[in-house]
Amino acid sequence: MSTGLLAGVALLGALTGLVAPRAARHFTTPAAPVAPHPPSAPVAAGAVVFAGLAAARGADAVLPVLLLLAAVGLVLALVDLACLRLPDPLVGAAALVAAVGLTGAALTSGTPGRLLGAVAGAALCFACHVLLALLPGSRLGFGDVKLAAVLGLPLGWLGGSSLALGLLLPHVLHGVLVLVLLVAGRVRRDTPLPLGPALLTGAWLAALTP
């Protein structure tokens, strides 16, 4: 991808990050406003996420699907950070984007067989996270389970290495964050923390792998 196109995608990501907090407010309560972050944080996050996907995937037919999922993901992350929930309408929108977008990418690229990998990835992510949610003392919510299943669609499409990283990285990232916050005295062992941002970040990093 040329430098000009990459810059254009990064700008699109920044604009998405600019409007994401306003969209997120529709899914939060006044008691849980969207912000304890600098106003520029979603803008920077959008630019980095979009540019990273564009640099990694180039002219791949799946790139528009990944960018649309990233846009919905930014809103989901903000809502989860604000009120510890992943609203079904947003998760459903992500599922629709993934299902329709990947079907279109399969048809335009002449690789319909990759849809089987996408479905298998979603099923594996769903099964693994259901098991985690059912463990005694687990704080994994079924919103997290549903989001993990949706993210399994593009990860399964991208292949086994991306899928494996997408399963592992979110929990490594979340575990490290929890440990850092515990050591810093910012949280206690029983403090509820959102997993959605870690699921989304892990999936993004996995999508950057060749």
Q: Domains of the chain: which residue ranges?
A: 3-207
Predicted local confidence at residue 159, as pLDDT: 95
Residue 36: the pLDDT is 53
Give yes or no for a contact between 77 and 196, defined as CB atoms under 8 angstroms apart: yes
CA distance to 41, 42, 49, 63, 65, per residue, from 38 (Å): 5, 8, 17, 29, 28
pLDDT on residue 35? 46
Residues composing the chain: 210
| Cα–Cα distance for residue pair 133/9, rounded to 1 Å | 36
- At position 134, the amino acid (one-letter code) is L
pLDDT of residue 208: 96
Q: At 40, list the tokens.
A: 């520029």
Q: What is the pLDDT of residue 2?
A: 84
Q: What is the rounded distance in angstroms from the CA atom of residue 114 to the CA atom of residue 183?
A: 44
Distance CA 137, CA 133 (A): 9
Q: What is the pTM of this model?
A: 0.93
pLDDT tens digits in sequence order for the chain, 210 residues long: 788 899 999 999 999 999 999 999 889 865 455 445 677 899 999 999 999 999 999 989 999 999 999 999 999 999 999 889 999 999 999 999 999 999 999 999 899 999 999 999 999 999 999 999 999 888 899 999 999 999 999 999 999 999 999 999 999 999 999 999 999 888 888 888 899 999 999 999 999 987
Helix 114-134 vs helix 142-158: angle between axes, to the nearest 10 degrees? Answer: 150
Please name which of 43, 74, 38, 110 lies closest in space to residue 204, comparing C-alpha atoms.
74
